[in-house]
Structure 1
Amino acid sequence: MRISPKMILTTTAVIALAACSTEAPQAAVDEGAADAMMDSATTAEAGTIVDVAVGNADFSTLVTAVTAADLATTLASEGPFTVFAPTNDAFAKVDADTLSALLTPEMKADLTALLTYHVVAGELKAADVVKAITDGGGIATLTTVQGGELKAMLDGDSVILEDAAGGKSTVIMTDVEASNGVIHAIDTVVMPG
């Protein structure tokens, strides 16, 4: 069974990255989300991306999905990786039956494709994403480990991340450091198409 955009609730949002100066835009952070996640991110910062996710209750659904897809070893490898990590609330926007089906062994290939669509090889901090958009004339195309593309665009001081299905997501926390890359928490699961 193949995942189609019709199987997923489509939501639209923007990535909240704001300029902290006129010359070098930096990521803005939803202060409530930052406060809720900061303790876990701080204590796990020396660990891998998987360690950071496991150490943060807001990523428990992601950790379950990564385990079901057998991606924990990959995401604990040297990297570096940039992970646009859906929070539990992001996964809650996915139809419950679809999410349950994705976590079954029969859907492992589809789940793997979905999860690796959230990962970009290399480390892209929020400022790097903004610079790539500026350097790209208003659009940065990010090639994911899955092979698909995510588009990032500026809208005022905000960055919009658009997936292959036309859905959009908001980064609610940026630059959570790990020993093998960086995590940007997002509020909506992005779809490979």
Structure 2
Amino acid sequence: MKILSKLSIAAAAALMTTAVFAANPDVGGAAMFENKNIVENAVNSADHTTLVAAVKAADLVDTLQSAGPFTVFAPVNAAFDALPAGTVDTLLKPENKDTLTKVLTGHVVAGKVSAADLVSKIKQSKDGFYHFQAVSGDALSAQMRGRKVYIYDESGNASLVTIADVNQSNGIIHVVDKVLLPK
């Protein structure tokens, strides 16, 4: 009986240690730290340099460093590169700050929504989609195709969640492969 008790305690300790110290996935070749905020982590990702430049141009750094919590669907550089030629350069111009802000806040949801939360809400829905709203006011939807989660913008464009559940001190990031655009 003493052996079983020691094994149970050791197994429980190992399980708790694994859960507590489970590492965030790397993003863009960089470690992501749960004790850093969204901006502090994003600046280290080689895959998010365009997003970081856009966040700076839209003056959203302070917002995304605040307490939140926020859920950010973070498009990779290739997602911005896939937009029509000149789109990013145009959005980054000071005179287009309002449009840039609308596009970027269309990737942000108030609160911390994990991949498990998204899947649960999708499964509870009647139409196979979880419908929710970005802080920009734009409608977003999540759907599962097989084991993959896609986020849809108002025009019905789908963006695949390629890396889920990157925990931050002020929320969570899900890396996506397309830019979500307002209608």
What SS does the aligned partner of 2:130 have? strand
Q: Residue deviations 1:34-73, cap 9 Å, x none?
A: 986275233x331100111012111111000000000000
1:70-85 alignment, distance < 5 Å:
70-85=59-74
Partner of residue 18, structure 1: none
1:186 aligns with 2:176: yes
Which runs of 5 or more residues in structure 1 are unaligned?
A: 1-33
Which runs of 5 or more residues in structure 2 are unaligned?
A: 1-23
> What TM-score comes out, normalization by structure 2 length?
0.82
Structure 2 vs 1, CA of residues 41 and 135 (structure 1 numbering), >3 Å: closer, same or farther?
farther
Give 2:31's match in structure 1, choosing from 21, 41, 46: 41
Structure number with bigger Rg: 2
Structure 2 vs 1, CA of residues 115 and 38 (structure 1 numbering), >3 Å: closer, same or farther?
closer
Q: CA RMSD in A?
A: 1.7
Partner of residue 88, structure 2: 99
Give 1:174's match in structure 2, choosing from 159, 164, 168: 164
Number of aligned positions between the proteins:
159
**Which residue identity is paired with 1:173?**
I
What SS does the aligned partner of 1:133 have? helix
Structure 2 vs 1, CA of residues 178 and 35 (structure 1 numbering), >3 Å: closer, same or farther?
closer
Does 1 or 2 have the higher relative contact order (CA < 8 Å, sep 6+)? 1
Contact map agreement 2:25 2:166 (CA 8 A) in 1:
no
Partner of residue 158, structure 1: 148
Shift in Å, 1:142 = 1.7
Identity %: 46
| Distance in 1 of aligned mates of 2:78 and 2:25 | 16
Q: Residue deviations 1:112-132, cap 9 Å, x none?
A: 000000000000110100001
| Distance in 1 of aligned mates of 2:27 and 2:51 | 15
1:120-131 alignment, distance < 5 Å:
120-131=109-120
Give 1:53's match in structure 2, choosing from 21, 36, 42: 42
Q: Residue deviations 1:123-170, cap 9 Å, x none?
A: 011010000111222210121000011111222322232111121111
Give 2:57's match in structure 1, choosing from 68, 84, 106: 68
Shift in Å, 1:95 = 1.9
> What TM-score comes out, normalization by structure 1 length?
0.78
